[in-house]
Structure 1
Amino acid sequence: MTGQPNACSPEELGSLFLFEKLDRGQLSRLCREGRVKAFEPGRVFAEGEPAAFFYVLLEGTVVLSRRVGADDVEIVRTSQRGVYAGAFQAYLGDRVRQAYTSSLRATEPTRFFVLPADAFASVMREWFPMAVHLLEGLLLVIQSAQQTVGQRERLLALGSLSAGVTHELNNPAAAVARAAKALRERVAGMRHTLGVIAAGPGRRDTVKTLVEIQERIAGRVSEATVLSPLEAADREDTLADWLEDHEIADGWELAPIFVQGGLDTEWLDRVAAAVDEPTLAGAVRWLTYTIETELLLNEVGDSAARISQLVDAVKQYSQLDRAPYQRADIHELLDSTLLMFSGKVGPNIEVVKDYGQSLPRIPAHPSQLNQVWTNLIDNAVYAINSAGGKGTMTVRTRLEREHVLVEICDTGPGVSPEIRDRIFDPFFTTKSVGEGTGLGLDISWRIVVNKHHGDMEVHSEPGDTRFRVHLPLTAAGTDAREAAS
């Protein structure tokens, strides 16, 4: 603490509204335990430093500010005698973090009455025990309410997202179940047909040749190119004609299977050359079972990959296997949150990802940032649904000087100017009762500003609402050491 000491006068303290009800003995005690300090223009204390003193303005002008991103935002500028700042929560002890919650500076030569935090806590408990108990109770109630509602907010979001993820998981899981049933049928048919072919006399070489063709066909299926509808129809007609010419029944049913597997009449000619005429129909049908089996195995593989992708997205979203503080890829976090929302967004909302190129990883609490994206995306979906359920949500990222910018935009009705300044207030919501707690944006603001030293703002007009989040590229102090560890 800088500044020159001055004589402390009980009379001067008693003239302040803060101390006007104290008696002479109490004022004298304050003068004994505290002191008057004169400060030149400049810093008095800084946000985040241990709250060691309680300051009461006697004379001069002061500015109280909060750190928002890279800027100090002025909260109060005053010359009113008796205003106070500093360790005014010292009487709560370890119940709250005893650090300066803002920065204070003098803009002209200024005098303060300065009381050590422990002395302030002592006189508060001795002189105003009932008031201290009331304030402690109020603090605990507020903290408990915010924690409870905040947890409720997160549970509501997770419940909503889990329903969407369950739906997304159900689709590939059902596909796997259908494919498994079909595989069982195809394999049974393959065994039966191969048994019939092998039962004839002198068929050992025939079976060996068919097995060789089958192996080549299996490889062909995995490399088959996707044809246009017109190309596929032409090839099906050609194959159906070949099957009909060789008196193979139901050729119109078999032809699409060969087309899906990437086979043409040249392959069927090889089969016809390898077997005699009575065996040809069975051999062709046996090979269709092979193609269908490979196609079904591909479907199982694709569905399993989709399930794995969803599980990875849930892990990425929840950050269950990650460090709480690390250098994170913003696009990975946004993608995992969007995937979690895929079941809730619905087909009538177009999602546009406009990602900047080569964005660096940033120091962050990934799970907390995912909560921010959850709140903002949920609000965007709600806004679009409230305007008829059809619109566009854009997720945009850019590099802006020393920050990464993330924008969540929607084409909903917008935020009216009358309430725009209140949307970040705790418990303020425009949603219907039971649909919102009013803590989503408050929690998001605290995560961005307090936890990540960033900035968060909203620009809105009908049809174009943009929540803009700026996150710094570098961490400072203990954050930097934690991110590097």
Structure 2
Amino acid sequence: MNAQALPCDPQEIGSLFLFEKLSPEQLGRLCAEGRTERFEPGPVYTEGEPATCFYVMIEGTVVLYRRVGGDDVEVSRTSQRGVYAGAMQAYLGERVPQTYVNSMRVTEPTRFFVLPAQSFADIMRDWFPMAAHLLEGLFFGAKNTQLAIGQRERLLALGSLSAGLTHELNNPAAAAVRATAALRERVGKMRHKLAHIAQGPYSREQLAGLIEIQERTAERVAKATALSPLEASDREDELADWLEDHGFPEGWRVAPVFVQAGLDTDWLEQVAAAVAADILPGAIGWLNYTVETELLMDEIDDSTTRISHLVDAAKQYAQLDRAPHRDVDVHELLDSTLLMLSGKIGPRVRVVKEYDRSLPAVPAYPAELNQVWTNLIDNAVSAIGGTGGEGVLTVRTARSGDRLLVEFQDTGPGVPEEIRGRIFDPFFTTKPVGEGTGLGLDISWRIVVDKHHGSLTVESVPGDTRFQVLLPLTAPAAGAEDDTESEGT
């Protein structure tokens, strides 16, 4: 910082719009406690440094920057006399971290009236006690309001996720219940059939052969592969004809079960060769119950595995029992979020995953990234719903230089150009009253930019809207979210 101290002229200071209503005594105090400085082109202060001074420009040009990822992004450039920046919350004292929330530089020789932060705080409390109280109320009231509505946003997301998870859990749970009831019935019939066989004219060797066939049948069921509808239909006809030819009544009823289990006429021939013709129908009936019980147990296994997978996905989404900041595979986070939101997405939105699985894990706060994915997916699904409810959501990952790109592309109507610059503003929403808080994208922006040092941008034309999240592959040490407020430029 190259600054030159200059005499402070109360009359010149009083010509600035910020001080034009002050008395000569007050202007005298400003000059006594502050100073006039001339800065050559270059930096004046840097974001994150202790906020020690309040700056009011007398003449020149100032540029304000914010750090986004590894880049300095210009947020304001002005030559307007009297604009101010710096330690603007000094009157709040230690209740708020007193650091510069942006960086300032000048592009030409520029003069400032510079007031130390403590003097600025004392003058605010001495001269404008009511205004200071009002500003404090506005500052903390806005933060409390944003916190409360942020919690509401998370509750809305949780409600949506809970509904989706309940829907997803209901299907396998209901299937398991149905299969268990059917299994109980089949086992009962198998016991009855076994008692009937035990009373029949079966020799020890025949019973041993039946049991051996039963074991081989169960093994074959476990290895069964799915057939095409046409192949399955042809095989059912073959089995039904074979059963009818060998005296098994209503073979068409059991043929579909045998086909599902991967059995064919060759297997039936093996059974016929192992038992006498007079007991073949009873043996096939008994084996039918064996096949049904195996298939029902497979169905129960599939259903309970699905439930377990959903619970694991819920834990992955919520990041239970995980470190809050760690290296994560974004694909695991994306998959768990998509699964949790599958009920909300519904069958009319086709999800396409274009993942670059070679991407490395990135240091991140996974639970908060899941909140970002939730907000962006929810917005995309809502946008597609506005065009009749059918469309495509593409989730894409790729490397972009030294960053990892996560892109959400939807085929909705797009974001109108006139509001595109406002969608990340707090409380701005295009959803009907009661359906959105206007904080989803604001929260997402803060999580990505402030907490992960990344960037969140949008590109949109009708039928092609893309929200792009860029995360550093090697992020700097994570810090707390900034308490950022707008400067007076």
TM-score (ref. length: structure 1): 0.93
* SS of match in other structure, 1:471: strand
Aligned to 1:483: none
Aligned to 1:460: 460
* SS of match in other structure, 1:98: coil
Partners of 1:79 and 1:380 lie apart in 2 by 40
Aligned to 2:262: 262
* SS of match in other structure, 2:115: strand
Q: Is the Cα–Cα contact under 8 Å of residues 198 and 204 in structure 1 kept in the other structure?
A: no
Q: Is the Cα–Cα contact under 8 Å of residues 451 and 478 in structure 2 kept in the other structure?
A: no
Partners of 1:68 and 1:172 lie apart in 2 by 45
Q: Is the Cα–Cα contact under 8 Å of residues 197 and 203 in structure 1 kept in the other structure?
A: no
* CA positional deviation for 1:294: 0.8
Aligned to 2:486: none
Q: Is the Cα–Cα contact under 8 Å of residues 236 and 259 in structure 2 kept in the other structure?
A: yes
Q: Is the Cα–Cα contact under 8 Å of residues 65 and 73 in structure 1 kept in the other structure?
A: yes
Q: Are positions 1:232 and 2:232 aligned together?
A: yes
Partners of 1:96 and 1:207 lie apart in 2 by 84
* CA positional deviation for 1:53: 2.0
* SS of match in other structure, 1:393: strand
* CA positional deviation for 1:34: 3.4
Letter in 2 for 1:385: G
* CA positional deviation for 1:169: 0.6
* CA positional deviation for 1:293: 0.8
Partners of 1:454 and 1:317 lie apart in 2 by 21
Aligned to 2:469: 469
**Mapping 1:421-440, distance limit 5 Å:** 421-440=421-440
* CA positional deviation for 1:80: 3.7
Partners of 1:434 and 1:260 lie apart in 2 by 50
Q: Are positions 1:117 and 2:117 aligned together?
A: yes
Where does structure 1 lack aligned partners over 5 or more consecutive residues? Answer: 481-485
Identity %: 68
* CA positional deviation for 1:96: 2.5
Does 403-412 or 36-45 show the bigger shift? 36-45
Aligned to 1:290: 290
* CA positional deviation for 1:45: 1.0
Aligned to 1:371: 371
Aligned to 2:47: 47
Does 272-281 or 43-52 show the bigger shift? 272-281
Q: Is the Cα–Cα contact under 8 Å of residues 451 and 479 in structure 2 kept in the other structure?
A: no
Letter in 2 for 1:147: L
* CA positional deviation for 1:221: 0.5
Q: Is the Cα–Cα contact under 8 Å of residues 392 and 411 in structure 2 kept in the other structure?
A: yes
* SS of match in other structure, 1:224: coil
Does 120-129 or 267-276 show the bigger shift? 267-276
**Mapping 1:139-218, distance limit 5 Å:** 139-200=139-200, 203-218=203-218
* CA positional deviation for 1:109: 3.1
* CA positional deviation for 1:388: 1.2
Letter in 2 for 1:360: P
Q: 1:341-389 CA deviation, whole Å, 9 max, x = no partner?
A: 2112222222211223412222222122222221111111111111111
Aligned to 1:99: 99
Letter in 2 for 1:229: P
Partners of 1:174 and 1:268 lie apart in 2 by 34
Letter in 2 for 1:309: H
Partners of 1:122 and 1:128 lie apart in 2 by 10
TM-score (ref. length: structure 2): 0.92
Q: Number of aligned pairs?
A: 480
* CA positional deviation for 1:393: 1.6
Partners of 1:425 and 1:418 lie apart in 2 by 14
* CA positional deviation for 1:240: 2.3
Q: Is the Cα–Cα contact under 8 Å of residues 176 and 304 in structure 1 kept in the other structure?
A: yes
Aligned to 1:406: 406
Aligned to 2:221: 221
Does 331-340 or 25-34 show the bigger shift? 25-34
Partners of 1:58 and 1:164 lie apart in 2 by 58
Partners of 2:94 and 2:2 lie apart in 1 by 27
Aligned to 1:20: 20
Distance 1:346 1:202, change over 3 A: closer
* CA positional deviation for 1:2: 5.7
Partners of 1:238 and 1:379 lie apart in 2 by 52
* SS of match in other structure, 1:415: coil
Aligned to 2:388: 388
CA RMSD of aligned residues (A): 2.2
Q: Is the Cα–Cα contact under 8 Å of residues 410 and 466 in structure 1 kept in the other structure?
A: yes
Distance 1:82 1:178, change over 3 A: same
Q: 1:279-330 CA deviation, whole Å, 9 max, x = no partner?
A: 3222211111111111111111111111112112111222222222222212
* SS of match in other structure, 1:196: helix
Distance 1:228 1:14, change over 3 A: closer
Q: Is the Cα–Cα contact under 8 Å of residues 92 and 136 in structure 2 kept in the other structure?
A: yes
Aligned to 2:333: 333
* CA positional deviation for 1:333: 1.6
Q: 1:48-94 CA deviation, whole Å, 9 max, x = no partner?
A: 12212222224433211112233222222234443221111011123
Distance 1:208 1:57, change over 3 A: same
* CA positional deviation for 1:11: 4.2
Distance 1:2 1:321, change over 3 A: farther
Q: Is the Cα–Cα contact under 8 Å of residues 403 and 471 in structure 2 kept in the other structure?
A: yes
Partners of 1:447 and 1:199 lie apart in 2 by 73
Distance 1:227 1:478, change over 3 A: closer
Partners of 2:366 and 2:105 lie apart in 1 by 35
Letter in 2 for 1:248: F
* SS of match in other structure, 1:115: strand
